[in-house]
Amino acid sequence: MMLLDGKEISKQLKDELKAEVNEMLANGYRPPHLAVILVGSNAASETYVNAKVKACSAIGYESSVINFPPEITQEMLLQAIDDLNENEEIDGFIVQLPLPNHIDDKTVIERVMPKKDVDGFHPINVGKMALGLDAFISATPGGIVELLKRYEIETEGKHCVVLGRSNIVGGPMAMLMRRNTYPGNSTVTVAHSRTKNLKQICLQADILIAAIGKPEFVTEDMVKEGAVVIDVGINRVDDPSREKGYRLTGDVDFSNVSKKASHITPVPGGVGPMTIAYLLKNTMIAARKRL
């Protein structure tokens, strides 16, 4: 079994971006600037946003976090988005999800100007990506594709089973894997909560991508010998023996599935760090448009 080390590959990607920043500075340009809107105080969101800010400063990007209380009205949030859309100092920005229930995600996502939508969530970017046109690819699927590429995982003609059909991960992941390019050219099956014979379908997977948000859902009896397993889950499971009171676990039963897989991503240290690195990559692409 080979570990697909997201921490290591994200470091490579960040080093490459840092070199690009230095080149921009040497040419008299300002560094890329990412802004993040964070509503409320969801502990996991705070962790991820802090990690994004830290990653920005490590490679020389500017970053800004705009915090709002959970009671913020949708109208005020949309106004903040309009401000960032117009602010020429900001190259790209994201609204960290999840949002409180009284705010409609769809309306918020559609308000972000597509050329600053470094999350790649806007329908314009999703649609262009689906057509294979230039677009921001959302960070988690983008990061996974980058990981497959850097480990030279064969994807052509392989059966890729995607567990989960969310707009943020499962949906775009399936589109990327069936594209006529590398990584891609896979035969893709999207399985979800209504799928019948899930185990039989998973057993056919040469590449299994688990994005369902259920801790250790994928067990070894669902995985073919030699499969490539990508674990997108980051579930916080109560664990009083840990200092923080919880531990992180993926959607895959790592200890047993890793005995069968040819390659597997760990949690933490797999897809999570790649998500952050890919967001930085998208921000560089956004920033380059002003050069």
Enumerate the active-site residues: 52, 96, 119
Cβ of residue 133: shortest distance to ligand L34, in angstroms? 21
53 binds ligand L34 (CB under 6 A): no
139 binds ligand L34 (CB under 6 A): yes
Cβ of residue 139: shortest distance to ligand L34, in angstroms? 5
Orientation angle between helical segments 43-58 and 6-26, nearest 10 degrees: 50
DSSP single-letter state for residue 199: H
The whole-angstrom separation of Cα 152 and Cα 146 is: 10
112 binds ligand L34 (CB under 6 A): no
The whole-angstrom separation of Cα 74 and Cα 91 is: 23
The whole-angstrom separation of Cα 1 and Cα 76 is: 50
> Helix (H, G, I), strand (E, B), or coil: what is residue 121?
coil
Are 261 and 226 contacting, i.e. CB atoms less than 8 angstroms apart? Answer: yes
> Which x/- pattern over 227-246 shows residues binding ligand L34 (rule: CB under 6 A)?
-------x------------
Q: Which residues of 197-219 are buried (b: 16+ CB within 10 A; e: fewer)?
A: ebeebbbebbbbbbbbeebbbbe
The structure tokens listed for 236 are: 């916080």
The whole-angstrom separation of Cα 234 and Cα 250 is: 5
Cβ of residue 9: shortest distance to ligand L34, in angstroms? 12
Stretch of 27-35, 82-90, 93-101, 196-204 lying at the interface with ligand L34 (CB under 6 A): 93-101
> Which x/- pattern over 179-218 shows residues binding ligand L34 (rule: CB under 6 A)?
----------------------------------------
> Which x/- pattern over 6-45 shows residues binding ligand L34 (rule: CB under 6 A)?
----------------------------------------
Stretch of 82-90, 147-155, 197-205, 270-278 lying at the interface with ligand L34 (CB under 6 A): 270-278
For the chain, give the number of residues: 291
Candidate residues 38, 48, 103, 222; the one interacting with ligand L34 per rule CB under 6 A: 48
Cβ of residue 94: shortest distance to ligand L34, in angstroms? 4
Quick one: 195 exposed, middle or buried, by C-beta within 10 A (0-12, 13-18, 19+)?
A: middle
109 binds ligand L34 (CB under 6 A): no
> What Cα–Cα distance (Å) separates residue 260 from each residue in 1, 75, 139, 151?
7, 51, 28, 18
**Type of residue found at 98:** P
Candidate residues 4, 80, 96, 155; the one interacting with ligand L34 per rule CB under 6 A: 96
List of residues contacting ligand L34 (CB under 6 A): 47-48, 51, 94-97, 119, 139, 234, 248, 267-269, 272-273, 275-276
